[in-house]
Copies of this chain bind each other. A is one copy, B any other.
């Protein structure tokens, strides 16, 4: 007994079984009117019996659209990207759009992968450090940039970096810190560069000597621990993200340095771990970033008129805990 039934049913088979044309089947399964209720029932019954599901490829070809869009990101390590993508997926789903993901991290053929992805979707959201502007420019479909420097004519959604970094510096200055180190590679991502710029601006404005820049090779715990070796006691270490900062915390403990007395440390992202490590950091609206990108992309795909490129910078928020300096009675958690 062969399992013939396993092969997918086509619209032709449904039409035959229902005794109608394929056009009628197509209508019955989509348009409300233009088909007798009686006919529709017959068609639906046949479709059910055959377990018919319209072929996505056939549809896409005929409709000239994929009903899907993609998001390109560097990596998925740490909760940051995951949260962004979740916000993205949820919003895209609301528009009836499937989501394809592409992590460029650790890939040598990122450009090719993005081009290939571009053939499967109606639009693309491109995050941070993934592919060059050139690749993006030659993409022939709607694009939204996320956490990335703007490109003329392309929508861009970002989180506040420089300004909040300045606030962070001011807070540290308030603690009496005068020696600063920035940990992380500003060339590693636009976000990090923004944060670094903000730190420099804040120090300059206060007339304090510029921060030492200690580039890291990555943005994870290990990179932080490694980089911490070069740190001088009595320094305020502003880290590009929480994981680096947590690495520094670990290294400091091993080295017997007290935080914040011997070393002040701050992060960025407000991961769950930051709360338990007592790490002063900056919170970003991650889901909202993803949701906004998805919304804008959908608009680009749907709209006919080529509206002017939009840009938005979502606010971020300083979260003060104990790693940045001794605070008065208030308990920060």
Contacts and interface: CB of A to CB of B under 8 A. Distances in A.
Nearest to A306: B3
A120 B56 contact: yes
A119 B68 contact: no
A272 to B, nearest CB: 4
B66 A57 contact: yes
A57 B54 contact: no
B86 A103 contact: yes
Interface string A75-86: 111110111011
A256 to B, nearest CB: 13
A260 to B, nearest CB: 16
Contacts of A113: 93
A6 B306 CA distance: 13
Interface residues of A, number: 55
Nearest to A86: B76
B76 A82 contact: yes
Interface in A5-48: 6, 8
A77 B272 CA distance: 11
A250 B58 CA distance: 54
Contacts of A90: 103, 106
10 contacts: A53-B118, A55-B119, A56-B60, A57-B61, A76-B89, A77-B86, A78-B272, A79-B82, A250-B333, A271-B272
Interface of A: 6, 8, 51, 53-58, 60-61, 66, 68, 75-79, 81-83, 85-86, 89-90, 93, 98-103, 106-107, 113, 115-120, 138, 140, 221, 243, 246, 249-250, 271-273, 275-277, 333
